[in-house]
Homo-oligomer: A and B are copies of this chain.
Amino acid sequence: MQVNGAMLIGAGEAWTERRFSAPGGDTGFSSAGPDEAARACALAEAAFPGFSETDPAARAAFLEGVADAIGEIGDALIERAMAETGLPRARLEGERGRTTGQLRLFAEMLRRGDWADATIDPAMPDRQPLPRPDLRRRNVALGPVAVFGASNFPLAFSTAGGDTASALAAGCPVVVKGHPAHPGTGELVARAVRHAVAQAGLHEGVFSFLPGETNELGGALVADPRIKAVGFTGSRGGGLALMRIAAARPEPIPVYAEMSSINPVILLPAALKARAEALGPAFVQSLTMGAGQFCTNPGLVLAVAGPALDRFVRAAADALAAAQPQRMLTPGIRQAYEQGVEALERHAAVELVARGCVGEGQDQASGALFRTDAAGFLGDQALGHEVFGSSSVVVACRDLDEIARVLAEVEGQLTATLHLDPADEPLAAPLVPLLQRKAGRILANGWPTGVEVAHAMVHGGPFPATSDGRTTSVGTLAMQRFLRPVCYQGLPDGLLPPALRDANPWGLPRRVDGEWRGA
């Protein structure tokens, strides 16, 4: 497959006069605008009625076709992504496995069938004082979905990443705004998706890919009346802008924006005392992984001040000073990171503990570790804001109560982590209810980076971690974001959707009078 900088609108290819370049590449990529957004949305709308009612087995086979086609790009995909993002080969190979794995997991989920939530309350013609009608409910797809790829996961959260996979699984056609930081990677994956659409005999409008670097393109997509939901992973400013556009539409639509999080890590006393020297380097490994460019990067550490915390900080500082410098994804991300770090360095209430080595070459950034106390942290809301990259602040608290007070003030988070020994459990117990109001995932004795794609995963959390804390963008539950329930009352069997017909031709598990029954 070749990259030529085209927009892929349904089965068609098109170019614009205006072009932009990727980091490390010489292809000129078309910069799509509102006209192309409108064409892609029109095709998506045309594809919707058929695609949304494909039977689950056919849709599962299509998702597996997408996974296969991504695999078939082979090493060209990894090399392109390495050139565009600066991420190392092993990381990108792992991310590719995750990308195809989640497509296959949604396929499995589709065949399992409980996503449809098929529910039947049979008629009770003799009920007094009034008969009960036959009532049947199932989930239907929302409509065409606009997906905004993330810069930091060029495969797993981009063109055919979690948002696209879950929307397609739900039966929603997808229009992707390709991320300008990795347009060639995006185009390769988009060509693979398009190939799978054709192989499956689906309507071309099921998938379109619009490379672009303007806010105008994104705004046009979200404002298009044919778009019924939005998936976004990126900055708080970007997510808030899309939320405003979506809320101001004549018909407001849901925006699933995954935005910002500092992912507090709480080191409890017994664990800290027993393992300070081991926790320090482990923390730094999580902090510096991928140059800290993870939504789940641990940007805040809370512990009780004292010798054990000092030992942890020293061990972390040593590990950070020894950590390899890394290239960041784009010049803009590096600049924002450096500005964030400089603001912390200048901050009167904050002390710089360590910086990582400074590397040579494009967009190199070095890690940064800071220290303050609870009064310092609570005295300036800005200290609770995300610095995207490998920067973290240790807050030394007087006692557990002060840790709880700091936690009560932090904003909504994707994750919160406890490091504890058995002796710490009584101290941790009152923190768990506090953490579950603040975060979508609570970890013990692990690190928040690394998000398993699983049934039980929640990669979400209260605002501003996401725009909608009732959802997740990773794991099988993510599909529910793109579904809505419809009830059918007294319909003749022939007019019911297959999911609800008496003969259950799709073999779905169904809830009858409130009790689940297997297919």
Stretch touching chain B among A10-18, A147-155, A311-319, A488-496: A488-496
Would you call A241 an interface residue if the criterion is a C-beta within 8 Å of the partner chain's C-beta atoms?
A: no
Whether the pair A442, B486 counts as a contact (CB closer than 8 A) is yes
Whether the pair A433, B53 counts as a contact (CB closer than 8 A) is yes
Which residues of chain B have C-beta atoms less than 8 A from A109's C-beta? 514
Whether the pair A425, B472 counts as a contact (CB closer than 8 A) is no
Chain B nearest Cβ from A192, distance in angstroms: 24
Would you call A428 an interface residue if the criterion is a C-beta within 8 Å of the partner chain's C-beta atoms?
A: yes
Closest chain B residue to A445, Cβ basis: B490
Q: How far is the CA of A471 from the CA of B114 in the complex (A)?
A: 17
Give 1 or 0 for each of A130-146: 1 = CB within 8 Å of chain B CB: 10110111001011000
Once A455-B513, A458-B137 are accepted as A-B contacts, the answer to whether A443 and B251 lie under 8 Å apart by CB is no
Which residues of chain B have C-beta atoms less than 8 A from A467's C-beta? 252
Q: Which residue of B114, B135, B513 is within 8 Å of A457 (Cβ)?
A: B135
Chain B nearest Cβ from A212, distance in angstroms: 27
Which residues of chain B have C-beta atoms less than 8 A from A251's C-beta? 411-412, 462-464
Would you call A34 an interface residue if the criterion is a C-beta within 8 Å of the partner chain's C-beta atoms?
A: no
Chain B nearest Cβ from A116, distance in angstroms: 12
Chain B nearest Cβ from A519, distance in angstroms: 12
Whether the pair A444, B492 counts as a contact (CB closer than 8 A) is yes
Q: How far is the CA of A468 from the CA of B470 in the complex (A)?
A: 13
Q: Which of A421-474 contact B (CB under 8 A)?
A: 422, 425, 428-429, 432-433, 436-437, 439-446, 450, 452, 454-458, 460, 462-464, 467-472
Which residues of chain B have C-beta atoms less than 8 A from A455's C-beta? 119, 121, 135, 137, 511, 513-514
Whether the pair B495, A469 counts as a contact (CB closer than 8 A) is no
Whether the pair B444, A486 counts as a contact (CB closer than 8 A) is no
Closest chain B residue to A443, Cβ basis: B489
Give 1 or 0 for each of A95-111: 1 = CB within 8 Å of chain B CB: 00000000000001100
Q: How far is the CA of A441 from the CA of B488 in the complex (A)?
A: 6
Q: Which residue of B456, B485, B513 is within 8 Å of A487 (Cβ)?
A: B456
Would you call A7 an interface residue if the criterion is a C-beta within 8 Å of the partner chain's C-beta atoms?
A: no
Stretch touching chain B among A275-283, A332-340, A476-484: A476-484
Whether the pair B485, A477 counts as a contact (CB closer than 8 A) is yes
Whether the pair B476, A514 counts as a contact (CB closer than 8 A) is yes
Would you call A234 an interface residue if the criterion is a C-beta within 8 Å of the partner chain's C-beta atoms?
A: no
Would you call A254 an interface residue if the criterion is a C-beta within 8 Å of the partner chain's C-beta atoms?
A: yes
Whether the pair B485, A458 counts as a contact (CB closer than 8 A) is yes
Closest chain B residue to A496, Cβ basis: B432
Which residues of chain B have C-beta atoms less than 8 A from A470's C-beta? 142, 254, 483-485
Whether the pair B516, A442 counts as a contact (CB closer than 8 A) is no
Chain B nearest Cβ from A273, distance in angstroms: 18
Q: List 8 A-B contacts (CB under 8 A).
A: A112-B514, A425-B492, A425-B495, A439-B486, A440-B487, A441-B487, A455-B513, A458-B486
Chain A positions within 8 Å of B, measured between CB atoms, are 49, 53, 94, 108-109, 112, 114, 119-121, 129-130, 132-133, 135-137, 140, 142-143, 243, 247, 251-252, 254, 411-412, 418, 420, 422, 425, 428-429, 432-433, 436-437, 439-446, 450, 452, 454-458, 460, 462-464, 467-472, 476-477, 483-492, 494-495, 497, 509, 511, 513-514, 516
Could you list 20 further interchain pairs (A-B, Cβ under 8 angstroms) beyond the known A455-B513, A472-B485?
A120-B456, A130-B450, A133-B446, A137-B457, A142-B470, A243-B247, A247-B247, A251-B412, A252-B467, A254-B468, A420-B492, A425-B495, A428-B495, A432-B497, A443-B489, A444-B490, A444-B491, A446-B489, A460-B485, A472-B487
